[in-house]
Amino acid sequence: MNNNNNQSASFRIVAKLKDYLQLIKITLSFTVVFSCVICYLLAPNIIDYDLKMIVILFLAGLLVTGSANAINQATERDTDIKMRRTSKRPVAEGRMSHQEAYTFALIAGAIGTILMYYYFNFSAAFISLLSLFIYAYVYTPLKKVSAISVLVGGLPGALPCLIGWVAATNEISPFAIVNGTTMTNAGGWILFGLQFLWQFPHFWAIAWVAHNDYTKAGFKLLPGGGEPTKITALQSIAYAVVMIPVGVLPYYFGISGIISLWIVLVANLFIVFQCVRLYIEMDVTAARRVMFSSYIYLPIVLLALLADKYPLH
């Protein structure tokens, strides 16, 4: 009997843990924090790896991002339940109350921000809190109002790059000299810009693939009247094209080397190519190609930049 009770308790603990991982959208959160950590390591004054600081940054970023995602799910319970891809989320399905989700969000957000401030600096903590606020309280309600929400959502989506850089340098201004070197502090803003632009073809591809689901929920995420049209494809191409010159800037400003320049260029051209295919073919299959191409883009580009950094400094 005791064994059965113990097993039952273990199952409940595992189920609750799974719910919390769903609540923080662990895959999305991991991607966001990955960008933050890599951009921290790309800063010119980070010469040697300090595993302790990397782990703390990862944990702080995960808590802040998880807090924003928890508020998002608590706020969007009524819309999540209408969509097939989100109907099994813990708040939407009733496995977790609004109060529990909000309580977790408050605690996680506070701890994450405090860790960012205590171990890094005020600027990184402030930007983290700003990112949380924009995502949870501006972007989330705006999704039902206008497709401009994608532009607004691009800010917290790209701010982790700046957070990581600022955590390392304690400098927000792009014109500051870091660690007495001749390289300016523009790196954080360049990386922010690259990830900001990347989000448009990435997110519009997702919105194209899941258009029926998003329409049921009342979300307005696609430009050009909210339908998957040539306008959406053209705008995806436009943002992807702008990524090409921005992708040159890490080399120009001495953040990374010539090898990563070519890798980033090829990756950017590949995204443009997939967006052009979407414009020509105008179907879900082409949109899915853009979506999956964008998924692999970030790790390839960021890891290439990092791998090519150290020979230069």
Tell me the pLDDT band of 182, cut-offs 50, 70 and 90.
very low
Percentage above 70 pLDDT, the chain:
93
CB atoms within 10 A of CB 277: 18
Would you identify the CATH topology of the domain 1-175? Tetracycline Repressor; domain 2 (1.10.357)
Please, what's the b/e burial string for 59-90 (b: 16 or more CB within 10 A of its CB; e: otherwise)? bbbbbbbbbbbbbbbbbbbebbbbbeebeebb
Phi then psi for 289, rounded to 5 degrees?
-65, -45
pLDDT of residue 6: 55
The answer for 223, left when phi > 0, alpha when psi is -120 to 50, beta otherwise, is beta
pLDDT of residue 267: 97
Asked whether residue 312 carries a pLDDT value surpassing 70, the answer given is: no
Tell me the pLDDT band of 180, cut-offs 50, 70 and 90.
low
Distance of CA 298 to the CA centre of its chain: 10
pLDDT of residue 239: 97
Asked whether residue 144 carries a pLDDT value surpassing 70, the answer given is: yes
Asked whether residue 225 carries a pLDDT value surpassing 70, the answer given is: no
Q: Is the pTM of this model over 0.85?
A: yes
305 against 28, higher pLDDT: 305
> Cβ distance 131 to 66 under 8 Å?
no
Residue 124 CB contacts under 8 Å (≥ 6 apart), including other chains: 116, 117, 163, 166, 167, 170
Tell me the pLDDT band of 46, cut-offs 50, 70 and 90.
confident
Tell me the pLDDT band of 84, cut-offs 50, 70 and 90.
confident
Percentage above 90 pLDDT, the chain:
65
